[in-house]
Amino acid sequence: MAGKKKTASEEIIYAPIDEQPITETLEKNYMPYAMSVIVSRAIPEIDGLKPSHRKLLFTMYKMGLLGGKLTKSANVVGQTMKLNPHGDAAIYETMVRLTRGNEALLHPLIESQGNFGKQYSRDMAYAAPRYTEVRLEPICAELFADINKNTVEFVDSYDGEMKEPTLLPVAFPNILVNPNQGIAVGMASNICSFNLAEVCKAARELLKNENADVIKYMPAPDFSMGADIIYSESEMREIYDTGRGSFKMRAKYTYDKKNNCVEINEIPYTTTVEAIIGKIMELVKANKLREIADARDETGLDGFKIAIDLKRGTDPDALMTKLYKLTPLEDSFSCNFNVLIKARPVVLGVRDILLNWIDFRMECVKNGIKFDIERKSERLHLLTGLKKILLDIDKAISIIRHTEYEADVVPNLMDGFDIDKVQAEYIAEIKLRNLNKEYILNRTADIEKLTDELEELNRILGDDREVKKLISEQLKKIAAKYGQERKTTLISGDDISEYKETESIDDYPLTVFFTKENYLKKISAVSLRSSTTEHKLKDGDEVLQTIETTNRSEMIFFSNKHCAYKMRTYDMPDAKVSTMGEYLPVILGLDEDEKILYTVVTTDYKGNMLFTFENGKMAKVELKNYETKTNRKKLVGAYGDKSPVCDIRLTDGDVDVVLMSDNNRVLCVNTAKIPLKATKSTQGVQTMTLRKKGAKVIKVVAANESGLEDPNRFKTKNIPAAGAVLKTEDTQLSLI
């Protein structure tokens, strides 16, 4: 019980707070929400629909919109709220994606009239539901086939006022025919679409042989927006087997020679026209696409089109190769075939999805056959009773006529003709005008037909092979009726040319100057030769490194925080001797207390990096260890961090270097004695022994630049070594 509040001068006493483990809190409060999102919202089930899709389509079906006239979307949204309590905006957004007008689905489920936006446009807003009209597409007949025959389970709606199906008895594998994406809690689903005819063919083959290789019949996904898939059978087989993986897609284009314009007619399903044009114009403004004059969206009544105006002399094919590399005109589709199977999320391959759908469909068909058997058996039972009164119609009339009370009619008929209550009720309800021989003969003529039909239905129900044969025939008819040619074409990765950025970069000799205050200048050889002025430097600054290279080289900057920053030389603007150059901490995004200690410029990553630490250790690492396949800008752990670094240098082969400690000792060592390490962050090997406590290495120079008259006097046979004391007769110009 909470403590009672005292007067203002007294302390307020609160009840103690009960401690609860965080795991228990999450399990009680968060887990139910997480499970609801996974099972009831974000992940599609074996019929290829999420609950929101299913509720919407079922509502439209009950409204008579399968084959009926178009109705206002607002009407459908309002009716759907009886099953889906998530609000009209969410329901309408769900509807938009299912429409033909939106072009998101390979086989749209809703016929639409009005503006429903476009899958390929991020900014094109769909009209309000009061302006648009919808009805179900004819293919939905295959989604609801025999739904009234107890083929699927029905449950109460959220308010208990209606019944709704838990799944739809889809007659084709809709789960693979239309794309589906969802983000749940701790998991997601991203299923691409496949060609309907190919999916039906693969399913038919699996009905014959569960081990059939489905990739032979459905080689790759197919998308409503077309484009090209860069096809690799090994990568695609991995996706088919595991349900995870990715593949690349490319836009399709044509060249209008008359207007010197590239027209893009199909783009990858994962991108939008705004993303493409935005990226192109961004590169144009950055002078990285000098071949382009303008890019615009020319989508109209004729269909989708992006127009790119070229400058005179531009090779359109070479430009498109470049655009594929630099813009979303080439994009990846990441597959994650996460499906709910009996309320459990499972990541399945294509073959396993089809097998699960076959099991589900067989159950639906069997339920439908059982329903037919039950109804036909009831009908046969009634007709059998009717046949008995054919023997004596007058007797039946007499029984009814001479029965004093209405309640005794059925019992008297039961006794008079030896029939049960159901049969007697049926006979008693026959109109007087139908109690004639012709009527009864016409009805009882169906007995033999019903008997044959029941025998056939029971035979099919008892043989799974017959059920599969029935499903296969249905798939064949659906493929013939709704199948269409592939929209997405396949191209081999071997047949396409990859854009190499360096090929379009001007290459020329230049010199890089790196200063103590972390300024860097890139000056072309032509500019350097023609310059008559001295280097402009900040007061107190000096040039630490002068490196001759070319424009197609790469630069590596080593900082005092054990990081290496990479940059292409051609990304650095050309400078002049009369300018201070580029300030590296700003360009590289260094921390406030971080500075560059050493710069490497290379074209082939040859040579070794030599790191000398204040504790007397030296580490040698191949420069190739800093080469990366991707364009990474920062490498953490570029060298050892156990002791402050004293010197960093690039060596081409083994050389003599001179180390000097702050206790006036000097050691000359050849780098051949330093073992080559494979790890960049290696601590190295002890090279100079520091006998005095607190002593450290303070300087490292090349032996030929040390100024020592006889560097060999400071050499030792083995390392580690303390070196020799520097005497007054030694020249120390470079060591002071």
| Active-site amino acid positions | 131
Element (H, E) at 612: strand 608-613
**Backbone CA torsion sign across 26, 29, 31, 33:** negative
Pull the structure tokens for residue 719.
């390392």
Of 430, 401, 397, 425, nearest in space to 411 by CA: 425
Name 177's Cβ contacts closer than 8 Å, sequence gap at least 6: 48, 106, 107, 193, 194, 196, 199
For residue 242, the tally of other CB atoms under 10 A from its CB is 15
Element (H, E) at 725: strand 724-725
Dist CA 549 CA 228 (whole Å):
41
Pull the structure tokens for residue 554.
């790469």
Adjacent-strand bridge partners of 601: 555
Burial annotation 580-590 (CB, 10 A radius, 16+ → b, else e):
bbbebbeebeb
Name 620's Cβ contacts closer than 8 Å, sequence gap at least 6: 608, 609, 610, 611, 671, 674, 675, 676, 677, 684
For residue 134, the tally of other CB atoms under 10 A from its CB is 28
Q: In what order do the strands lie in the sheet with 110-113?
A: 71-72, 133-136, 110-113
Q: Residue 77: what residue type?
A: V
How would you write 503-553 as a 3-class SS string? HHCCCCEEEEEEECCCEEEEEEHHHHHHCCCCCCCCCCCCEEEEEEEECCC
Pull the structure tokens for residue 385.
């009773």
Helix, strand, coil abundance in the chain, percent, nearest 5: 35, 25, 40
